[in-house]
A and B are shown apart, each in its own frame.
Chain A
């Protein structure tokens, strides 16, 4: 199956039973698959009037007790960013897959890109800590969607799957394990005494229960700075408490969240840092470079946000250079630069979108870095 279909299957396997979306190439196949499968598993699929409404419906469904998901790409994701901020502020678990296509604006609807990496984190206004994952294959579209739901449930945070048109439309074998072999974090609903019910706890940790609408508890949800009951408290002091919690529940747990795939990084002179489809293109360049005797390793970012600050910092100074190919004008390369602290050279191999890199271009950058 293709990556788009695998996203839908991953969602279903993770227990997602609510999908609201608006069709947009190249993500529509996910919605189609979910819509087709929904009646079989008792799930609800709604085609909304637009993307703003789609994510708003998700927020509502999440507080009504459902695990929920939507898919889109750049133009739709832009529309979702306002309510993405609301979801982050209200600590609402939900999963959005962005099957990236060439931008800006409507750009290149049918062609691939990785241009929304920064938007995923910095799109909404205000300080915003989310989790973003980047699959490199249809299999990972399945696996990482399950993981996205698990992270989303545990940390009560929107999780974004940043895939792309190539992976979305690429067909490969996808192994879906039996349900009892798939680790699923169930929705944790509060069930204690009414007087102790708090929809929020600001302690920089995950694992807090949701309160389900209709279960008889009184609580409030707002985008304003709020207290643990959810009621607005518009003071700088409370703002500090809430924002610190939102940021630190992700940042201070980054080691538990971040997943990387490394190949021959130890002892390497050059490390290629890549993600998604580009990491599979880079493989060819890396193999060719090794044939030329260059000691080159591969660091693949499976987790994009939070960024693997610590690992890049550890490697900086030990490696001559980081080579960062990505299908954008240079986005994650800024993060690599920041974390390398000037101790290793950082080389951007950018691309304006619409296609994957020519591996030869990455190979040239590796050669140049090795000089």
Chain B
């Protein structure tokens, strides 16, 4: 991997920016990579479209924005509609299974669906949706190690919710491993 570009998207309140922060911290502090995170920053607070972009590289990143995202995580319909066409053939598309209605089968992409909100609710609170999705993304993309991600959590999630966030991450991660196995068996 030389450079990898990831877009995290959804609606405000889902913890989209937090996803990019955690992944960026994991990569740059614990996986020995360089990462630059920029975010859509506007007066909109909650409920509207929200996106963060992360550039990952083995060397120092000069140009800080994504131009050819290889990975898109879309946790809302609006985010999916807006960004899926950016992905090149072979790109990774991760969508929230219950919130996103696909416009096509996307046979040119590596498509993964994760019921992140439902899993989070099973853990007691839909606030953990982002960590489920992150665990899933970690498993299917391998752009970052699960170990680094878990190390990155303290300080970026409230201490009293650290354990449950790790649990949410692992639930998503394990589901991601199953998804890869299923995809492998199917092809």
Contacts and interface: CB of A to CB of B under 8 A. Distances in A.
A172 B63 contact: no
A166 B42 contact: no
Given A173-B29, A283-B63, A359-B63, A110 B43 contact: yes
A173 B35 contact: yes
B20 to A, nearest CB: 8
Contact of B36 (A26, A109, A170): A170
B19 interface: no
B28 A109 contact: no
B63 A280 contact: yes
Contact of A166 (B24, B34, B38): B38
Nearest to A167: B64
B62 interface: yes
Interface string B42-67: 11000000000000000001111100
B41 A26 contact: yes
Contacts of A283: 62-63
Contacts of A170: 36-38, 64
A281 interface: yes
Contacts, number: 44
Given A281-B63, A283-B62, A283-B63, A110 B36 contact: no
A283 B38 CA distance: 17
A171 interface: yes
Interface string A320-360: 00000000000000000000000000000000000010010
B145 interface: no
Given A171-B36, A172-B36, A280 B41 contact: no
B21 interface: yes
Given A170-B38, A171-B36, A280 B28 contact: no
Given A109-B43, A110-B43, A166-B38, A171 B63 contact: no
A166 B64 CA distance: 10
A110 B42 contact: yes
A172 B35 contact: yes
Interface residues of A, number: 18
B43 A169 contact: no
Nearest to A174: B28
Nearest to B34: A173
A284 interface: yes
A147 interface: no
Max chain B C-beta neighbours (<10 A), residue from A109, A171, A281, A283: A171
A91 interface: no
Nearest to B29: A173
Interface in A254-312: 277, 280-281, 283-284
A169 B24 CA distance: 14
A165 interface: yes
Contact of B41 (A110, A172, A173, A277): A110
A280 B64 contact: yes
Contacts of A359: 63
Max chain B C-beta neighbours (<10 A), residue from A110, A172, A283: A172
Interface in A221-251: none
Interface in A103-130: 109-111
A110 B45 CA distance: 13
Interface in B1-37: 20-21, 24, 28-29, 34-37
Contacts of B39: 169
B42 to A, nearest CB: 5
Contact of B28 (A166, A169, A172): A172
A172 B35 CA distance: 6
Contacts of B35: 172-173
A172 B61 CA distance: 10
A173 B38 CA distance: 13
A280 B62 contact: yes
A26 B38 CA distance: 14
Nearest to A170: B38
Contacts of A109: 43
10 contacts: A109-B43, A111-B41, A170-B36, A171-B20, A171-B38, A173-B28, A283-B63, A284-B62, A284-B63, A356-B65
Given A169-B39, A359-B63, 19 more contacts: A109-B43, A111-B41, A165-B41, A169-B38, A170-B37, A170-B64, A171-B24, A172-B28, A172-B34, A172-B36, A173-B28, A173-B29, A173-B34, A277-B64, A280-B64, A283-B62, A283-B63, A284-B62, A356-B65
Interface of B: 20-21, 24, 28-29, 34-39, 41-43, 61-65
Interface of A: 26, 109-111, 165-166, 169-173, 277, 280-281, 283-284, 356, 359
Closest 9 CB pairs of A and B: A173-B28, A171-B37, A283-B62, A284-B63, A172-B36, A110-B42, A110-B41, A280-B62, A170-B38
